[in-house]
Amino acid sequence: MSSYDVIVVGAGIQGSSTAYTLAKRGQKTLLIEQFDRLHTRGSSHGASRITRMAYNRPYYVAMMKDAFPMWESIERESGKKLFTPTGLLTEFHKPKGGGMHQVEASLRDQGIPMELLCADRLRKRYPQMRFDDDMQGVVEQFAGVLRADLARETIQDLFIRHGGIIKTNESVIDIEPGSMIRVRTQKGDYFTQKLVLTVGPWASRVLKPLGLDLPLQVTRIRVLYWKTDGSADYSVDSFPNITSYDVNADHCYYGLPVLEYPGLFKLCCHSGTKIESPDERDMIADERDLEFMKNLVRTRFKGLSPVPVIIENCMYTKTPDEDYILDSHPIHNNIIIGAGFSGHGFKMGPVVGSILADLATNRTPKYNMKPFRINRFFPHTIKSSL
Ligand SMILES: Cc1cc2nc3c(=O)[nH]c(=O)nc-3n(C[C@H](O)[C@H](O)[C@H](O)COP(=O)(O)OP(=O)(O)OC[C@H]3O[C@@H](n4cnc5c(N)ncnc54)[C@H](O)[C@@H]3O)c2cc1C
């Protein structure tokens, strides 16, 4: 019989970070992943992720203040370079986009250096783009890019170095709650005092048999790379990460300077196509996000070919308020859930890992946990419905 202090299910960035933190704290930890260690079928694969402080909700800014030094600590411990500074431009249409004052206020409250630019100054600073007269931007200098695949691999390597065990190509098919939880895969049974479920887009499938029907929506997101023709400079020294923020827009987007593929600029739509099952991810024919992006490239970005040369698929798992779920199961409180990262979880991996590790070892996380609680979805009914 194999028994552990903690079993973590799902080796995406959140499960890997949680398992690493637990092993580092001396917990006998098993990480179970249904695919290979660095598979591309979930939400954490790919070469890059934006890392930023610029959030309109102050509790994320407070968490990001710790995430940056935690990533540095992982870099020091592993000897791997994971972060490239680029800065970040968040652009808004005024007044219809709204929200700018919230981003500005939450950065200012936390003492994060930033600049506010009007359309004229945006045009001078970023000649690669066209800006409408009613646009304005917040520039955050310390933002950058994380090398996502390398980060996930590095954190898993550190987990193993701290004595952790990874089982790959094993799918958890049944969980029997109790003071000693039984976790069944197609290869056998494992037993654990605490169980952490970080199963990304598979969360509904894993949680429903445990009596928890969370309002999670899985969305297929396409990662698009556009060829630069050399007439505009999108290199990391000349162009920042960019995000659009417009509470009224159907589509928002984000871009990263040329980093992973020579001569290719990454520019993606933040909204994609809702799907019923993560297994359908690569079978969806919906082209609306692509049409929006082609039009955006034609009208706003200079020197890019109007058709993407690489298209990769990924998934967001969104909650209705786009805040994460970081909480214990309402009935089986030795089962901890990290889910619903809503397309903005990667940068926060080490902080999420420390929070879930805290919850799994009866420590109180140092952060404001209220936005992340499960009972925000069904405050009056959850106890009786389970
Ligand atoms: C295109 C795209 C761009 C993004 N850009 C950014 C960005 O710039 N900045 C940022 O901060 N975030 C970004 N995100 C979001 C971020 O990548 C995700 O929030 C994060 O990767 C979610 O990680 P996860 O560990 O929860 O999920 P996943 O990576 O999906 O991991 C879940 C794991 O659980 C495994 N699993 C599921 N069920 C089982 C089972 N029954 N048994 C065993 N294993 C199981 C899966 O195989 C998977 O490996 C982006 C996401 C996408 C898709």
Q: Which domains occur in the chain, in start order?
A: 2-45+149-215+321-385 (3.50.50.60), 88-141+217-318 (3.30.9.10)
Question: pLDDT tens for residues 132-188?
Answer: 999 999 999 889 999 999 999 999 999 999 999 999 999 999 999 999 999 999 999
Residue with the two structure tokens 């952790």 = 164
C-alpha to C-alpha distance for 104 and 54, rounded to whole angstroms: 8
Residue with the two structure tokens 């405050």 = 379
User: What is the predicted pLDDT for the residue at 384?
Assistant: 39
- Atom 19, ligand 1: which residue's CA is nearest? 345
Query: What is the number of the ligand 1 atom nearest to the C-alpha of 10?
Result: 34
pTM: 0.96
* Residue environment code for 200-235, b if the CB has 16+ CB neighbours within 10 A, otherwise e: bbbbbebbeebebebebbbbbbbbbbbbbeeebebe
Q: Is the pLDDT of residue 383 over 50?
A: no
Please state the rounded mean pLDDT for residues 308-323.
96
Q: What are the φ/ψ torsions at residue 170 (nearest 5 degrees)?
A: -125, 120
- Atom 21, ligand 1: which residue's CA is nearest? 44
Instruction: Quote the ligand 1 centre to 295 CA distance (angstroms).
Output: 28
Query: What is the number of the ligand 1 atom nearest to the C-alpha of 45?
Result: 29
Q: Is the pLDDT of residue 254 over 90?
A: yes
Ligand 1 neighbour 131 (Cβ under 6 A): no
